[in-house]
Structure 1
């Protein structure tokens, strides 16, 4: 049985999730500060709202798909935040990659209002989100998962139940994304070296993809880089943010993360060099210099 789903933030990932749900005949309500993101989805049948407050009472499950912790707090608890109109039988699903402390803060505050939280960071990119094949890392009560398992199954065929504690999903995502940032920085470095050596980049990447140096993110991004395609599917700022959050978590635990430090610094350099709004394949451009 379907029921109304709300999505706040319909950029690359949120928009793909909304399109997927609409294609499966789920009622979808959306809100985004950028009208250019909402209009194509409205054509597909989504109901648009001006503010999170306006959207909130119309849905059973509210998915937050904004960029960072500050935006997450704002769309929930800010001047036009959804929490003002959420009801006790509703659930909020937090999908951004944010600090575990931000997830715990939001979950605790929502709990005080009688609202359940699903800590649900996602991974896989817009194409997989549109196809319902992205990964979801869920931390929530079993009863809450059972209540929403049908829509979760539409959103993802790779659902990982992490724990019942909100924040553990965020921790898992940070670990994953730190490794992704390390792998991508490494792939960009070795492809830059291959170019300096005079090797054919397509052939070199083909060898790597079938050998011990292979990583999914390295292959995906370096294929774009070879084609000089830096149209953003995943902005460089995202892994810059995520690697920083992960290293901060490691520092808080007095855990040494030398490779994480290097990856974080590499992404920070890419942002400083003007690649913030390019695809994160632009690390290759950075390391060509």
Structure 2
């Protein structure tokens, strides 16, 4: 009779909203898990589910061959590993593999491993960067999307653990940090799409459009994005329970724009979006759901989008169509900016298209324009001049109601710039030339 091979011991550091679900799922899947977190309540929950708890990162990792780090950011990661006497680096078992699941700047995993190797003389330690997405429910179900990159041995050792936690697991070529480059592009798009959804829904409510009916129409149109479909119901119900807090996108958009600064790469729409999240955080919304960003567009009537679900149905086809075109256009410019940025980071359009089309950064605009850019087709579809004129109408309508269209205004300026550069009669994929003159074909 065959006996089942025992699964390796796992140290799980960072038992926040997603981390605790991931850790409990690993327990359910037969992995012995020891956890550490600064919140004693999450440790009690892990203990109740059959796990073990530790009083420090050092104690947590001592018997583990796999260490999952799921803290909020790079600063917390450094504290976890290098804090005097209690840091994980002082307790790492021989040949342990660190699985870094936090979303961090692409260069950070390399720096972290280099410090472990050089400063602490632990060249036996492997590290893989494996940013995750999918939210708390999917974390608990083991159905996350995980991007992974790093050395072959580390990835091979970590694979059973990663497969247990994921429904979709990608291995990104390019070495340590490549996975976080792809995650960076995805977060660029996801953050913009939430903000664009908020801007559009606020405009619809301000114009007196029934917001529930508008949402249902937009879902079936080229204006739709994954984030629009997922987050607008929160706006319609005035539900700011933090499934994903504004603070997460304050952090993630900062990572995006900081990388743009590091690469000397202009990120017009991402930078405008970052300012919206920062403003919302300063208003005190930091811990609320990211869909609550809509409130910064609504003045004194913060629940207007929810209230507008009860507005009498109006035959306002023009406003509905204009807002849909507005969303579609912002999504299109965001897609072009993201693809150009990914290219700058060394990630091919082919890779980005295959992953992001099925991730939280997806939109109908992305799915349409990415293959055109990949194929070098800059003439198809609506011309840049025609697109600009549509947005001009939207801006004019919003001005009549003193409604702020920050992302739309940024998008319009980019379209104006493209026309000035002589691109007006070319198709929307030619907007790529605002960021780069090189082709982004699949083999580059």
* TM superposition score category, shorter chain reference: over 0.9
> Any unmatched runs of 5+ in structure 2?
300-444
**Aligned position for 2:95:** 89
Q: Is residue 2:235 matched to residue 1:229?
A: no
Q: Is residue 2:126 matched to residue 1:126?
A: no
- Residue 106 of structure 1: which of 92, 112, 134 is its match? 112
- Residue 21 of structure 1: which of 23, 26, 46 is its match? 26
Contact 2:150 2:177 in 1 (8 A): no
Matched residue SS, 1:10: coil
Contact 2:35 2:54 in 1 (8 A): yes
**Aligned position for 1:220:** 230
Report the Cα offset of residue 110 of structure 1: 2.7
Mapping of residues 234-249 of structure 1, within 5 Å:
234-249=244-259
Report the Cα offset of residue 102 of structure 1: 2.0
**Residue deviations 1:129-182, cap 9 Å, x none?**
112221111111122222222111111121111125211122211111011111
Report the Cα offset of residue 253 of structure 1: 1.5
Report the Cα offset of residue 256 of structure 1: 1.3
> Any unmatched runs of 5+ in structure 1?
none
**Aligned position for 1:59:** 64
- Residue 48 of structure 1: which of 35, 44, 53 is its match? 53
**Residue deviations 1:166-220, cap 9 Å, x none?**
1112221111101111111000000101111222222211222221111112221
**Residue deviations 1:221-247, cap 9 Å, x none?**
211121111111211111111111111
Q: Which runs of at least 4 in structure 1 moved beyond 4 Å after TM superposition?
A: none
Contact 1:141 1:164 in 2 (8 A): no
Measured in 1, the distance between the counterparts of 2:83 and 2:198 equals: 40
Contact 1:83 1:110 in 2 (8 A): yes
Measured in 1, the distance between the counterparts of 2:43 and 2:238 equals: 29
TM-score by length of 1: 0.96
Mapping of residues 252-267 of structure 1, within 5 Å:
252-267=262-277
Gap change, CA 1:164 and 1:83, over 3 Å in 2? farther
Gap change, CA 1:284 and 1:180, over 3 Å in 2? same
Q: Return the index of the structure with the highest Cα Rg.
A: 2
TM-score by length of 2: 0.63
